[in-house]
């Protein structure tokens, strides 16, 4: 195989961007060989853009069974990600899935199992992992030279959206259409990076406010408190109702502190000793360990989506590393599901949580949703 032959499933905002990136030659090892969308208008756009003889399918199963592709990129509404991925794995295809990996972890586990069983390559579009700020934070924390995490804080409130945004599609801001609000639509990248860099908490207490700033069913304002297995605590705060908002991610560790402002600058405070040790052994009540501060050198290049796609092709062709393994997509979703469930039950939720209970609670909200399932299926 000289290049990976890719079929794009879903020609909405993201699908269109991916199609253009490939046809522009921005993903060296990939060629576009098929697309599909349930919408006749979008298929007409694709036929116009890709030429009259290009394979444009009305149904993703036709594309999957077409024989002209090695891999699919799934860019349809959130609920359908696992189901379509499972079909693709069954057909022996590699899968690159848009975020979030799904709406509820139960369906994502089935997808992960299908991926493992198939032996095919499974990747997820966590394009913010290509940002060298976050890569450096991941390396510094997981490398261990800063010691254990003591506290985390991410204030990510710069997702301002107007009423017009939510009014732009019937499915937007609904339980049946999106399966959640800011946690499912805007925050999957941050939730993934949060767990990738800081690890998973053992329990979560969240306060989600539905339709607080907008006329929507789902949450547009969240404050979550987390506790980690080692006793560290953390907060995650987000909103689509605030302008200018803030993007500030801070991690306190035994031997330092990392502060990332706006995703493009990282300050590293490094102590000359473990503060836990210093706290116990210093003879001075107001003593302090020595601390140096440096601004980390950040690489300008950030390939984002095309970087994820090229890495996916590189894995298929040559066994190279992925940007994000597909099965890791469940972690950020566990965080957002736990935040939803905590807020719905008005109590602290242990991780792992009761996934059947989560689904039952979600389905109550879907049943009352103004969006109907048929409309939700063809929506992005």
CB-wise, 31 or 261, nearer to a second copy?
261
Instruction: Give the number of residues written for the chain.
Output: 380
CB 361 within 8 A of CB 175: no
Q: How far is the CB of 37 from a second copy (least distance, A)?
A: 21
Residues making contact with a second copy (CB under 8 A):
150-151, 153, 155, 157, 160-166, 168, 205, 207, 209, 212-214, 221, 223, 225, 227, 231, 233, 235, 237, 239, 241-246, 248, 250, 252, 257, 259, 269, 271, 275-276, 278-280, 282-289, 291
CA distances from 280 to 267, 269, 272, 290, 377 (A): 27, 21, 15, 15, 59
Q: How far is the CB of 75 from a second copy (least distance, A)?
A: 19
CB-wise, 40 or 285, nearer to a second copy?
285
Q: How far is the CB of 266 from a second copy (least distance, A)?
A: 15
228/36 Cα distance (integer angstroms): 42
CB-wise, 92 or 231, nearer to a second copy?
231
CB-wise, 106 or 212, nearer to a second copy?
212
Pairing of strands 233-239, 219-227: antiparallel
Q: How far is the CB of 233 from a second copy (least distance, A)?
A: 6
Q: How far is the CB of 141 from a second copy (least distance, A)?
A: 16
CB 27 within 8 A of CB 306: yes
Contacts of 297 (CB under 8 A, 6+ apart): none
Backbone angles phi, psi at 247, to 5 degrees: -130, 100
301: left (phi over 0), alpha (psi -120 to 50) or beta: beta
Q: How far is the CB of 110 from a second copy (least distance, A)?
A: 33
66/86 Cα distance (integer angstroms): 16
Torsion over CA: 84, 86, 91, 92 (sign): positive
Token representation of residue 111: 């997808």
CB-wise, 195 or 252, nearer to a second copy?
252
CB-wise, 6 or 208, nearer to a second copy?
208
């Amino acid at each position: 195989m000289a290049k990976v032959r890719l079929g794009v499933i879903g020609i909405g905002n993201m699908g269109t961007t991916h199609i253009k990136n490939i046809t522009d030659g921005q993903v060296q090892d990939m060629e576009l060989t098929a697309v599909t969308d349930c919408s006749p208008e979008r298929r007409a756009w694709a036929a116009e853009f890709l030429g009259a003889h290009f394979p444009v399918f009305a149904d993703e199963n036709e594309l999957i069974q077409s024989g002209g592709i090695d891999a699919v990129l799934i860019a349809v509404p959130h609920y359908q990600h696992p189901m379509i991925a499972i079909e693709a794995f069954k057909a022996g295809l590699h899968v690159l899935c848009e975020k979030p990996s799904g709406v509820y972890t139960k369906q994502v586990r089935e997808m992960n199992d299908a991926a493992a069983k198939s032996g095919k390559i499974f990747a997820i579009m966590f394009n913010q992992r290509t940002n060298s700020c976050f890569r450096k934070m991941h390396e510094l924390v997981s490398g261990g030279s800063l010691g254990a995490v003591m506290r985390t804080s991410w204030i990510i409130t710069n997702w301002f959206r107007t009423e017009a945004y939510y009014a732009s599609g019937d499915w937007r801001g609904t339980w049946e259409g999106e399966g959640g609000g800011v946690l499912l639509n805007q925050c999957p990248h941050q939730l993934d990076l949060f767990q990738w860099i800081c690890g998973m908490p053992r329990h979560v207490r969240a306060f989600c406010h539905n339709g607080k700033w907008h006329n929507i069913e789902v949450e547009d304002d969240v404050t979550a408190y987390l506790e980690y297995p080692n006793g560290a605590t953390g907060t995650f705060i987000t909103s689509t109702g605030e302008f200018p908002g803030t993007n500030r991610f801070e991690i306190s560790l035994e031997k330092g502190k990392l502060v990332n402002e706006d995703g493009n600058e990282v300050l590293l405070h490094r102590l000359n000793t473990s503060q836990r040790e210093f706290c116990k052994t210093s003879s001075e009540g107001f003593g302090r360990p020595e601390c140096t501060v440096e601004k980390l050198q950040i690489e300008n290049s950030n390939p984002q989506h095309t970087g994820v796609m090229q890495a996916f092709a590189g894995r298929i062709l040559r066994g190279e590393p992925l940007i994000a393994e597909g099965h890791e997509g469940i972690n950020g979703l566990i965080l957002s599901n736990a935040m939803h469930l905590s807020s719905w039950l008005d109590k602290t939720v242990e991780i792992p949580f009761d996934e059947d209970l989560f689904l039952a609670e979600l389905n109550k909200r879907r049943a009352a949703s103004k969006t109907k399932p048929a409309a939700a299926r063809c929506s992005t």
